[in-house]
Chains A and B, each alone.
Chain A
């Protein structure tokens, strides 16, 4: 569809409208310090891609060492001669790798790509705006996040290397400084500063998402007509706004404990490395409370955008309306609310009283209800549909699968008595990689295959895409499913090797997981090749290749600088008009004129 064909349903921009910013002309303004939400969205996705490659590489080193504890890891002795001389992984270096893997993946992949990346590119177009409400804040948001990443990665290059306190940076280990282990000096300080800076970037982003959704909607775009992905990003912004507002103070206090001699998280009389610490009266549990008050909602910051992406793609590939759209939104809002009442389930082992544990266990079980409702709505939408089985659709189906798999193990972990046994084991590693890591990644892949034509004006290769899906799906289950078994066997996590005889029995399974992880990583090369090849050589994309309804498909691929070519779209329909008889076929776009006005528009 061309811009002309939608002009019947849009109004001309009034002349002499005060403008906020004109199209940039210099390279720097156009591609680097851009105010354009579309460029910023791509920048976030690019950062996510760099981060995920880094994080995955770190996981390979860990996996290789777990499978072959007595062998030197190839190449690592050359890459990191200071920390892993001759390729030997010390227990401390293993923990440093684990800390950086978790931090990079959770913050710079699972938060930036599905929320800030796709949200930035798509949300303003889906609401019918020409940009975010505050483009300068938007640019700052990305560059602040980039600086945070740079500061974090800098920890690899300081004398003692990166921190080893895990992505959760539990105090007092993270608070007392150099004496508590390698990387706990400057490396840990850089970690705290990086995460603090990251919070500021995400707060600026959330502020923009909320203001844009509330105030910059096109005429006729009521809240009920918002596409489900926009709803999801909007809800995620609200979760993020509260979560990062708490993590930031926690980082400030931790930094002061490290550099200014305060004692927020360090108790009196603490002896570390045979030396009594010069602190008194702090509470390590306070850090855990503040961190997990952010940390659990963070799970939903990673996954709710995936909900939105799947709910936007599914009706388009199923060619039928999404089941229960209002229930879908209400369930996501319920998840957002409940996500602030469950943080204690990460702390069942912290000495919490059984009654407190029950208080956190019950909402944890309750939060599965809206999650199950959403899953059932997806299944109901898929059931009996004329599914167009393209790569985006496959990743949607894959998302449902891994989300259910990961969610089911959550039932067990939500009960304090069972969690006491499983918490320190690989069962938890399998659980959160499925429900948070892989599910969010499948959302990212689905979104990439779906919106790539809009972003770059070219189609991705479907054959490569389907191979990518098939191998990824197999790789994911082969890697993370056996971890549940290891956990049930009592295989503890966070250990760099398993010296006891009992644990030696699990070595073959660890080797299988390592081979699977390498296979899974290698499968992603197909995606990278497809991404680069399609960007330059892919067939030119039409404006609406998926015959979808939302506003981004009513403009050109890629959209012009102001998104709609100088016109303001007017919205007449919801995003769910599939399986109907419309002028274009079995769908009605949001900008299509209402039925009564159709003859006039045709005339």
Chain B
């Protein structure tokens, strides 16, 4: 009996991320539709001003998507049939790595920025249970941050694959992680618009 398990083809990781994106989209659609219904059904809905730092955070997150793409384009071939690049391994400290590190730094900055936004609201006396609008604000931002941490873990894992000699095809892992990361940015912009309109 063969002792192998066939490796998933490159498309499986991508399909997996797309399916995940579908599920997360549905999930946030449920949260936001609940918010819109609640907003429409009660007259005493209390609006509050979003902390301005959220807009800066948005720029940081979008920038991290851009720097990730720059890093990906700097990772040149040729790749062997396992998806490892000799040039990649030989030039561990080259340009792509710097861009990749910038991406990671920006994503951390985004998370810190979100935390600061919560602190700002808390200092104004706006907590999770203060009003329906604040409940939705905290739930949506916290869950987005939770999903983002998952993406960050994927990026760190992809970096580990890129820098090691064996393991799964690093280019595929990176492609899947990047797809998810871009989706996180798109999701955040959507949430920002929703929050700005209804919260």
B19→A241 contact, CB < 8 A: yes
Cross-interface CB contact of A19 among B3, B9, B26, B169, cutoff 8 Å: B3
For the complex with contacts A246-B30, A264-B132, A282-B132, 5 further pairs of A-B residues with Cβ separation under 8 Å are A216-B6, A256-B139, A264-B34, A280-B44, A286-B37
Q: Report how far A380 CA is from B53 CA in the complex, Å.
A: 66
Distance from B155 Cβ to chain A, minimum over Cβ atoms (Å): 18
Q: Is A129 engaged at the interface, CB distance under 8 Å to the other chain?
A: yes
B7→A20 contact, CB < 8 A: yes
B26→A252 contact, CB < 8 A: no
B6→A263 contact, CB < 8 A: no
B31→A281 contact, CB < 8 A: no
Interface range for A: 35 or more
A207→B19 contact, CB < 8 A: yes
Task: Give the segment of A341-349, A477-485, A525-533, A557-565 that binds chain B.
Answer: A557-565
Q: Is A242 engaged at the interface, CB distance under 8 Å to the other chain?
A: yes
Task: Give the segment of B10-18, B65-73, B102-110, B183-191 that binds chain A.
Answer: B10-18
Q: Report if A248-B27 is in contact (Cβ < 8 Å); known contacts: A261-B129, A566-B1.
A: yes
Cross-interface CB contact of B6 among A19, A207, A211, cutoff 8 Å: A19
B5→A214 contact, CB < 8 A: no
Q: Report if A131-B5 is in contact (Cβ < 8 Å); known contacts: A241-B22, A245-B30, A249-B31.
A: yes
Q: Report how far A242 CA is from B169 CA in the complex, Å.
A: 30
Residues of the A chain whose Cβ atoms lie less than 8 Å from the Cβ of B24? 245
Residues of the A chain whose Cβ atoms lie less than 8 Å from the Cβ of B38? 264, 281-283, 286
B128→A261 contact, CB < 8 A: yes
Q: Is A262 engaged at the interface, CB distance under 8 Å to the other chain?
A: yes
Q: Is B82 engaged at the interface, CB distance under 8 Å to the other chain?
A: yes
Of B5, B37, B42, B128, chain A has the most CB atoms within 10 Å of the CB of B5
Q: Report if A215-B41 is in contact (Cβ < 8 Å); known contacts: A20-B7, A245-B26.
A: no
Distance from A123 Cβ to chain B, minimum over Cβ atoms (Å): 14
17 contacts between A and B (CB under 8 A): A130-B5, A130-B6, A133-B15, A133-B16, A134-B16, A210-B15, A211-B15, A242-B23, A246-B30, A248-B27, A250-B30, A262-B135, A264-B135, A280-B44, A283-B38, A565-B2, A566-B2
Q: Is B4 engaged at the interface, CB distance under 8 Å to the other chain?
A: yes
Q: Is B8 engaged at the interface, CB distance under 8 Å to the other chain?
A: yes
Q: Report if A256-B1 is in contact (Cβ < 8 Å); known contacts: A241-B26, A246-B26.
A: no
Q: Report how far A315 CA is from B25 CA in the complex, Å.
A: 39
**Closest B residue, CB atoms, query A215:** B12
Distance from B114 Cβ to chain A, minimum over Cβ atoms (Å): 18
Interface range for B: 35 or more
Residues of the A chain whose Cβ atoms lie less than 8 Å from the Cβ of B135? 256, 262-264
Q: Is A135 engaged at the interface, CB distance under 8 Å to the other chain?
A: yes
Distance from A6 Cβ to chain B, minimum over Cβ atoms (Å): 15
Q: Is B20 engaged at the interface, CB distance under 8 Å to the other chain?
A: yes
Q: Report how far A460 CA is from B37 CA in the complex, Å.
A: 54
**Closest A residue, CB atoms, query B1:** A560
B1→A215 contact, CB < 8 A: no
Q: Is A18 engaged at the interface, CB distance under 8 Å to the other chain?
A: yes
Q: Report how far A256 CA is from B129 CA in the complex, Å.
A: 9
Q: Report how far A248 CA is from B147 CA in the complex, Å.
A: 14
Q: Report how far A281 CA is from B41 CA in the complex, Å.
A: 9
Q: Report if A286-B34 is in contact (Cβ < 8 Å); known contacts: A135-B5, A262-B135, A565-B1.
A: yes
**Closest A residue, CB atoms, query B43:** A281
**Closest A residue, CB atoms, query B46:** A281
Residues of the B chain whose Cβ atoms lie less than 8 Å from the Cβ of A249? 27, 30-31, 34
Cross-interface CB contact of B37 among A246, A283, A560, cutoff 8 Å: A283
Q: Is A581 engaged at the interface, CB distance under 8 Å to the other chain?
A: no
Residues of the A chain whose Cβ atoms lie less than 8 Å from the Cβ of B30? 245-246, 249-250, 290, 293
Q: Rank and list the top 6 A-B pairs by shortest CB-CB distance, nearest first.
A: A566-B2, A261-B129, A245-B26, A19-B4, A215-B12, A133-B12
Q: Report how far A68 CA is from B6 CA in the complex, Å.
A: 59
Q: Report how far A262 CA is from B127 CA in the complex, Å.
A: 10
Q: 0/1 per residue, A200-235, Cβ < 8 Å to B? A: 000100110011101110000000000000000000
Residues of the A chain whose Cβ atoms lie less than 8 Å from the Cβ of B169? 18
Residues of the A chain whose Cβ atoms lie less than 8 Å from the Cβ of B131? 281
Residues of the A chain whose Cβ atoms lie less than 8 Å from the Cβ of B6? 13, 17, 19-20, 129-131, 216, 562, 568
Residues of the A chain whose Cβ atoms lie less than 8 Å from the Cβ of B1? 23, 560-562, 565-566
Residues of the B chain whose Cβ atoms lie less than 8 Å from the Cβ of A19? 3-7
B132→A22 contact, CB < 8 A: no
Residues of the B chain whose Cβ atoms lie less than 8 Å from the Cβ of A131? 5-6
Q: Is A260 engaged at the interface, CB distance under 8 Å to the other chain?
A: yes
Residues of the B chain whose Cβ atoms lie less than 8 Å from the Cβ of A282? 38, 132
Q: Is A253 engaged at the interface, CB distance under 8 Å to the other chain?
A: yes
Q: Report how far A261 CA is from B134 CA in the complex, Å.
A: 12
Residues of the B chain whose Cβ atoms lie less than 8 Å from the Cβ of A241? 19, 22-23, 26
Residues of the A chain whose Cβ atoms lie less than 8 Å from the Cβ of B37? 283, 286, 289
Distance from A212 Cβ to chain B, minimum over Cβ atoms (Å): 8
Residues of the B chain whose Cβ atoms lie less than 8 Å from the Cβ of A22? 3-5
Distance from A216 Cβ to chain B, minimum over Cβ atoms (Å): 7
Residues of the A chain whose Cβ atoms lie less than 8 Å from the Cβ of B128? 256, 260-262
Residues of the A chain whose Cβ atoms lie less than 8 Å from the Cβ of B16? 133-134, 207, 211
Q: Is A21 engaged at the interface, CB distance under 8 Å to the other chain?
A: yes
